[in-house]
Structure 1
Amino acid sequence: MSSRMRPLLPRTGGFPPLPPEAKKRKRTSVACTPCRQKKCNGARPTCAACNARQIECHYTTQDESETQREARTREHKGLGELIECLRTTPEETAQAVLYELRSSSNPLSVLRRYESSQILQRPSEITTALSALPQIHSQTELQLMVQHPAAYPALNLTHDAIMSSNTLLETLKILPFDIPCRSKSQPVANIPGCSDVLGPKQDHSDIQPTNDSQHTEENEVHGASKSTYFDPLLRSLHIGFWTSVSVTDHYAAGAISAFLVTDHSILRLFDVKSFLNDLIHLRSDHCSPFLVSSLLAFASQQYSTEEPLAAAKSFEFEKEAEMIWRAKLDDSMPNITGLILLYTSIACHGQGGPNAESYIHEATEMCKRMKLFGVRDLLTDAQISSPAGEDQRAGAQTAWGAFNYYILCVNVHIAPPVEDPPALSIPEKSEPIHFDEKLRSFVQAQKVNSIVDETYIYTCKLFRIHSDVHVILRDQNMTRLPSLAFIFSKYMKYLELIDSLPERIRRRGKRPLEVLQLHLYFHMFLMDLFRPFIDNKGSQEFQSRHPNFTTPEAIFAASTKPCANYPELKELLIECVSQHNITTRGCTWHTVLLYTANALVTEPASPDLQFFFLLCMNCYARLYDRFEFAEGAVQSLLAIAVDHRAISKDNAAIVFNFLMNKMKFRQTSSTHTSLWPADLNLAMKDREAAAIAALADRFEVITVFDEFTEGVVSP
């Protein structure tokens, strides 16, 4: 069968060749940073595109195999390590790393330099400041000094300053004896740091120890002249109306004046204007026989340096006051003040046992019944009314004076804490008075706010804060310590108050003793606030987790750490003895000696222990010719020093015998029964064992036992 298909002719020629296929661009998984949105051939260290554009070529990846995701993960890890470095390394190292970061565009390169120890560690500003300020021994002290200059002022109390200024002269008057150089156990002069503090023996033959009566301040009172009375009106005093104790009007006026210019300027238990007005005009609104007897019982002790019979008269006034009190007196402002002064008189005689403390309890209960403090329904300014405002002023003065005194008693474990401070306004301005001969009455001058008045305002505010602390720390039902958050919140309140002090009541230049007493109270209260937390495991564990945490120990040290050259309490002591003849200023200030001596003996390695400890002992000894409790205080502190091995038994006996022989001491009327604590650390656990009575007995046992065993028991 023939094909119907048309036959195909053979091909006449071939098709034109196809154009050659273009070479494909090499694919890369990672482009350089400038070419991320453009084409990149992945060449390293510079890709073709960057080379053509003549720009810097930078890869975020380490090599061709690393992806962008892997690079970001690596960078994130490196930044985390850098942050950890800044957080955990010492401050000097962290500051050096931070400095490198600020001058580098690549944080990871800084990390690599740190890991290879190529970063030069510069001393921090804090380290530089500490090296330039030899008195500052910790970062905490420096930080407090910079941030709170009112509470922690920078004072020039270096060794050279003390040895070359008037401070040296005043200190030599307080400490006029050579330190014993030899003893059986250890030479006193060889106590570590003693020679460095006292310096080489210098010729001070022109400086002689001065008796209290030979150098006095402008406002001190002498019984020799009626012109030195606190107020000229006291020349018209008729003391026979108020007391049956046989004393002259001149004696009573002198003793009252001595009290008003010394302890009253700090205690302020009553309004002076109202008291003197009633005392002279024989009225009993703001004065009473009980108040007069109690006041003269205490004032006679201060006055005993002017009148030899005053020491015996003090006991007579005490007996009279106790007899009057047994008559069941009514509640009144004068009786509250009388109870406090009666207790103070007995305690200063070294007889502050349970019977004496009952007067503090009675005064507190009377204040509660009169709604001055300690109850919810408190007396207010509006509830006290008088034509001239005298009742309101006198009531507020007694309320705050009694409250402050009670807080001091709580501070030394004599009384339980009390809530609800006074609601009456703090007496802000004194009202100077003078006696008008024509009117035969007091005339009120224009109101002024003196530096002492302003100091008292802030003192009351400080005591109000501390009363809140007592309620927590001294609660007998509390089984555990409060949290550190609570303690530091109160600490900040203290600092806020001191930071707000006006310029004239800060520690700059010479200041009245009342101003120094305010700053002393501040550091005393801080020590008591943090004392329960010293060496506490909870604070140590917290500090291990938070290295920058300021521990209670560090703050405690800023006020009193003995290893520092001149912490705040020592500075205050130097200021007191160099600016004031404190041995003639009553006994209220003596707590600076107690707190300083306690801080010293607990750290026997303190380089300046001997100088300051003997200074405290000598200041107490100067008090003994007026206040008998000072003998027990000296014995107690010497016993504590022996127990802590801060001084040997032989040297303790030498110091005590020297003080007894050199000073114009009288014989103690009886053994000491005072329950005021001498060992502040022991008082938190066992108040009776820490009291002056117990420790004075212990000192007697130590010295007597050592005397009888001499040559029998080997040292």
Structure 2
Amino acid sequence: MLREMPPRDSSVQASTETPSSSSSSSSSIPSSSFSISSFSSSPSSSPPSPLLQYNLVGSLLPPATNSLEQELMVWHPIAYPALMPIVASSLPLEKLLNPRRSDVLSAHLLHDAEPPDSVSPDMRIESRDDNKVNPDFYKKLSHLSPMHVSFLNQVDITSWTSLPIPNQIAVQVIALYLNNDYQVIPLFNMDLFLRDLSRNQPYFCSSLLVSALLGWACQAYTCMHPKAASWSSLFFLDAQAQWSRLGRHESVTLSSMSALQLLCMTSVTHGQDELALSYIRKGLELGKMMGLIDVASVTESAAGWLDGYPDWQRAASYTAWGAFDWALLFALHYHKTEVGIPPAIMMPGDIDLALAAQEGLSIRLPVNVQVFRASCKLWTIFAPVARIYYGQANDIFLNGNPALEYAENIYHELLTWAEELPPNLIRQPGNCHGVLMMHIYYHAVIVDLFRPFLHLTHTSSISLRTFNADHATPRMVYHSSIRQLKRLLLSYRMEFGLEALSVLWQTGVVYVVNATIRDESSSKDEMQFFMHLCLVGLEELSLSFRVFGSITRGVLGMAVRQGAIEQHQVRRARRRLKKIEQHFLLGISSDEIMARWMVDLDLAVTDPIHAQGGKLAEDFDRMSVHETRDDI
């Protein structure tokens, strides 16, 4: 395991569990040579690509490299657990540095009867009979309870849609979503949704919500069924049509608000950013009309009409806080703020705690609810930062003297947030992927909190007031959190299979690859390792989510400009992307992909337009054309 266990008290230095073959000390780590393949093709789709040879000398992420990081590890070990070095020879490089889904994709494209034997067992969850669920299917989805499985087995999808998707495929798509994405950003209450979905009841489910959910969730299923990409487009269009037909009054429901967030998310991954912006705004507008979100006073909130109806309180808390969290994650990537005030209603789990207290009982909330509550508090801290940093007057503020003091105060709020986490949300072996994703978002927020000051000569080297370490500068905080992000990304890649079908872990990939491309302090081998790790992650995402073809091309262009990648690696990656675009995405919409979210995060500070994924992809394509002409 690669997780970090913080100390039981501040006098004991944090430790990390490393793979069993690794040493606890970096002093005795030998140099080792490995053969790895970047963007290797599956045997059934094309000849194997040449192997890239390089040495991984010593260990990845050696002990703290600056005094501030050491101070953070001692005084804030929950946020900054000590990163024990990992011996390179202990890592399964073939698993880490090759796409895990290319064999599955090839099998489906060629209509093979069975997937290749090399496919990882945890990826084989598809059913060979579209009308019959594989008996082992639910066993792989650890976040679904027996009650959830019972509800899912009762679902008749034809009660909710007339589109031609086999019932059990639809059920499996929904189940995979609930196991993966829902654990990170819930947009509705799962128990109430499944109850109504299985019983054909309209209170906490609707045909609009079902279509929007399938439009989103079918994308992650594309590696397991050749028609999933087409189903995603069909349900996406169907949900849009349903929404446009709803009248003003009948549209004001919790289900509609959840559906609009899902439509926004699908628009993002389909590369239709203007549509995404439209849907997130409509969803938040609905929430405001219902008194759920962005209301100025308690008297305007939904607390009054919800009082006395526990199920509706549960449903509203999930819908409101889920939309709030998604809006802040949207802001993190697009640098656009659409919400300012957190929901003025109970947090998820509050009603259950209150009802138990009335009966004199004490209950422990499930881990996924605890993750949701902690995430809501995290995004609440980030909300005012987003308004200031991404607002029209951000340049004026960030160039002013109070800006660094403001950032330092927010940083202490974030450190306190980590210290107040319940024990099972602390990074440790056995964490669920929702916990890891929460910590990825946490360090992404910290990195962006201090990123602007790295580009201002008068603040980049100023020491923070409240830390004792020498050179406690914004740059050192940035580097300390980037190192945590690298370890989190490595842990996610090592420990999760099905959960990596979710698009949400791309935040870690994008932030780490940005730092890696510009990292002048790490060894070349370590830089190459994380560069490959990120590119493989992006390729996997591009197999399911259309927009990541553009994002990957943009990242490749950044890497070329920074001299962080060899030309033969670029050519191989380009060939892989073309195959994905030509074969895997046949039959879906040919609309132009915008990809306006920020991919070059440093450039976004000074030139957000040219930092967008689509712009970077265009630059890479022009670069490729020139290279082709030069070769002729």
State the TM bucket, normalised to the shorter chain: 0.7 to 0.9
Contact 1:543–1:551, Cα closer than 8 Å, also in 2: yes
Structure 1 equivalent of residue 382 of structure 2: 466
> Equivalent of 2:269, from 318, 334, 348?
348
CA contact (8 A) 1:429 1:449 kept: no
Work out which of the two has the higher radius of gyration on C-alpha atoms and give 1 or 2: 1
Name 2:220's counterpart in structure 1. Answer: 302
Q: Give the aligned residue type for 1:308.
A: P
CA contact (8 A) 1:412 1:677 kept: yes
Residue 588 (structure 1) aligns with: 504
Residue equivalent to 1:526: 446
1:366 is aligned to 2:286: yes
Q: Output the CA distance in 1 between the equivalents of 2:499 and 2:118.
A: 11
Cα separation, partners in 2 of 1:243 and 1:430, compared to 1, 3 Å: farther
Distance in 2 (alpha carbons) for counterparts of 1:521 and 1:269:
17
Q: Which stretch has the larger CA shift, 339-348 or 374-383?
A: 374-383
* Deviation sequence 1:643-680 (CA, Å, 0-9, x none): 22222444322333256669996146534222122111
- CA-CA distance at 1:293 after TM superposition: 0.8
Shift of 1:328: 3.9
| Structure 1 residue 157, shift from structure 2 partner | 3.3
Match of 1:4 in 2: none
AA matched with 2:199? H
Answer whether contact 1:583 1:622 (CA < 8 A) is retained.
Answer: no
Residue of structure 2 aligned with 1:275, choices 172, 193, 200:
193
Deviation at 1:570, TM superposition (A): 0.8
Aligned positions of 1:620-639 closer than 5 A: 620-639=538-557
1-side partners of 2:515 and 2:583: how far apart? 27
The answer to whether the 8 Å contact 2:336/2:390 transfers is no
Distance 1:388 1:354, change over 3 A: closer
- Note if contact 1:404-1:463 (Cα within 8 Å) is conserved in structure 2: yes
- The answer to whether the Cα contact below 8 Å between 2:180 and 2:499 also exists between their aligned partners in 1 is no
The residue number in structure 1 matching 2:411 is 491
> Could you list the runs of 5+ residues in structure 2 that have no partner in the other structure?
1-60, 100-115, 139-147, 353-361
Q: How does 1:539-554 map to 2 (within 5 A)?
A: 539-540=459-460, 542-543=462-463, 548=470, 550-554=472-476
Q: Cα deviations across residues 143-197 of structure 1 (Å, max 9, x unaligned)? A: 1111111111113233x2x422xxx12x4213139xxxxxxxxxxxxxxxxxxxx
Q: Which residue of 2 aligns with 1:150?
A: 78
Q: Which deviates further from its counterpart, 329-338 or 393-402? A: 329-338
1:209–1:474 CA distance, 2 compared to 1 (3 A): farther
Other-structure match for 1:225: 133
- Taking the aligned partners of 2:117 and 2:507, their CA distance within structure 1 comes to 24
Query: Paired residue for 1:509?
Result: 429
Matches of 1:307 and 1:221, distance apart in 2? 7
CA gap of 1:294–1:658, structure 2 versus 1, over 3 A, is closer
Letter in 2 for 1:418: V
Partner AA of 1:240 in structure 2:
T
CA 311–135 in structure 1, closer or farther in 2 if over 3 Å, else same: same
Q: TM-score, normalised by structure 2?
A: 0.76
SS at match of 1:588: coil
Residue matched to 1:215: 122
User: Structure 1 residues 426, 556: CA separation in 2 closer, same or farther (over 3 Å shift)?
Assistant: same
Secondary structure at the aligned position of 1:624 is classed as helix
Q: For this pair of structures, how many residues does the alignment match?
A: 521
Letter paired with 2:173: A
1:286 and 2:204 are equivalent in the alignment:
yes
Cα distance in structure 2, aligned partners of 1:507 and 1:475: 33
- 1:482-511 CA-to-partner distances (Å, cap 9, x unmatched) read 522211111000001101222222112231
Q: Which amino acid aligns with 1:480?
A: F
**1:197-251 deviation line (CA, Å, top 9, x unaligned):** xxxxxxxxxxx99535x3249xx77676264355222232222222221223222
**Match for residue 377 of structure 1?**
297
- Does residue 163 of structure 1 match 2:89? yes
Over 3 Å counting, the alpha-carbon distance change for 1:518 and 1:209 in structure 2 is: farther
Q: SS in structure 2 opposite 1:688?
A: coil
Distance in 1 (alpha carbons) for counterparts of 2:134 and 2:304: 40
The 1:385/1:659 distance shift into structure 2, 3 A limit, reads closer
Q: Which residue of 2 aligns with 1:436?
A: none
> Given the two structures, how large is their TM-score scaled by the length of structure 1?
0.68
3-state secondary structure, aligned to 1:254: helix
Question: Which deviates the most, 679-688 or 651-660?
Answer: 651-660
Higher relative contact order (CA 8 A, sep 6+): 2
Moved more, 466-475 or 546-555: 546-555
Partner of 2:96: 174
Q: Is the 8 A contact 1:430 1:447 kept in 2?
A: no
Aligned residue type for 1:311 = A
Contact conserved, 1:340 with 1:360, CA < 8 A, in 2? Answer: yes
Separation in 2, partners of 1:423, 1:544: 34
Structure-2 separation of matches of 1:249 and 1:471 = 44
Pick one of 397, 405, 409 that aligns with 1:480.
Answer: 397
Contact 1:639 1:696 in 2 (8 A): yes
Residues of 2 paired with 1:544 and 1:486: CA distance? 11
- Give the letter aligned to residue 338 of structure 1: A
- Structure 1 counterpart SS, 2:278: helix
How far does the alpha carbon of each residue in 1:18-64 deviate from its partner, in whole angstroms, 9 at most, with x for none? Answer: xxxxxxxxxxxxxxxxxxxxxxxxxxxxxxxxxxxxxxxxxxxxxxx
Check whether the contact 1:621–1:634 (CA below 8 A) recurs between aligned residues.
yes
Q: Which letter does structure 1 place at the counterpart of 2:153?
A: R
Q: 1:486 to 1:282 in 2, by over 3 A?
A: same
Q: Could you say what secondary structure the match of 1:245 adopts? A: coil
CA contact (8 A) 2:173 2:221 kept: yes
State the partner residue of 1:453.
Answer: 369
- In the alignment, what sits opposite 1:598? 514
Change (3 A) 1:279 1:555: same
Is residue 464–residue 473 contact of structure 2 (8 Å, CA) maintained in 1? no
- The 5 Å alignment of 1:190-201 reads none
Match of 2:152 in 1: 234
SS in structure 2 of the partner of residue 597 of structure 1 = helix
| SS of residue matched to 2:606 | coil
CA contact (8 A) 2:223 2:544 kept: yes
- 2:488 aligned residue (564, 572, 588): 572
- State the 1:580 CA deviation: 1.4
Counterpart among 610, 617, 631 of residue 689 in structure 1:
610
Give the aligned partner of residue 126 of structure 1: none
What are the Cα deviations for residues 438-488 of structure 1, in whole angstroms up to 9, with x where unaligned? xxxxxxxx9652222222221111111011211222221342315222111
- Quote the offset at 1:366 in angstroms: 1.6
Fraction of identical pairs, as percent: 28
Q: Which residue matches 1:389? A: 310
Equivalent residue of 2:306, what SS? coil
| TM-superposed deviation, 1:356 | 2.9
**Separation (CA, whole Å) in 1 of partners of 2:520 and 2:208:** 47
**Of 558, 574, 583, which residue of structure 1 is paired with 2:480?**
558
Deviation of 1:550 (Å): 1.8
Equivalent runs, 1:23-172 vs 2, <5 Å: 134-158=62-86, 160=87, 162-164=88-90, 168-169=91-92, 171-172=93-94
Alignment check: 8 A CA contact 2:211 2:239 kept: yes
d(CA) in 2 for partners of 1:609 and 1:547?
A: 27
Tell me if 1:321 matches 2:247.
no
The 2-side partners of 1:155 and 1:605 are apart by 17
| CA distance 1:429–1:374, shift in 2 (3 Å) | closer
Q: Alpha carbons of 1:584 and 1:571: their partners in 2 closer, same or farther (altered >3 Å)?
A: closer
